[in-house]
Amino acid sequence: MLVFLDFEASSLAKQSYPIEVAWVFADGRSETHLIRPAPSWTDWHEDAEAIHHISRSTLLSAGEPHDVVAQRMIDVLSGHDLLASAPSWDGKWLSVLLRGAGLGRRALRLRDTDDAIDEDARMILAPSVPPDLLDATVENLVTLIEMRARGKAPAHRALADAEAERQRWLAVRGAATELAEQYRRAS
């Protein structure tokens, strides 16, 4: 099943680490976890805190131990298709979390949400849209949905951002289904 995943982090520096993770399954089930930093994770930038509004003291007092969160992710997410809007950043933080817990950094793999959205739109439209128009139709449809969503800034909280990615995927699927039906009626 598709799972939309997002991290918030201590900063964008090389030594940054995950401070919050959330995921939303395609069917809407979700989880979110504040992550208590490992003792060796000391990077902290006030600029990042000003964006996500999670203090280091909150993580230390209310966060779950990093190794518990990592194991929960392995237990719940293994075998699913994990998607992230920024897979290079989110993949970095996933790797830091897994390695920090003594788990294999490749135990979970992320791929780009955009790729999954394009694949789903293509799958829905392919039976109805002429092959020579399929690429342009998918591109136009995805662009239209993105334009409709313009102006909605990311919340910079893991659960809200993961849910926003799921909503974008649902919007493209819905629009692709409607367009495919229009093509079927016209033929």
Region 2-111: CATH code: 3.30.420.10
User: Which residues in the chain are classed under CATH 3.30.420.10?
Assistant: 2-111
Kind of pairing, strands 64-65 and 110-112?
unpaired
**What phi and psi values does residue 78 have, to the nearest 5 degrees?**
-60, 135
Residue-level length of the chain: 187
Q: Which stretch of DSSP H or E encloses residue 34? A: strand 30-36
How many angstroms from the chain centroid is the CA of residue 157?
A: 11
Q: Output the tens digit of pLDDT for each of the chain's 187 residues.
A: 999 999 999 999 999 999 999 999 999 999 999 999 999 999 999 999 999 999 999 999 999 999 999 999 999 999 999 999 999 999 999 999 999 999 988 889 999 999 999 999 999 999 999 999 999 999 999 999 988 877 777 778 999 999 999 999 999 999 999 999 998 898 7
Is the four-CA dihedral 12, 104, 76, 166 of positive or negative sign?
positive
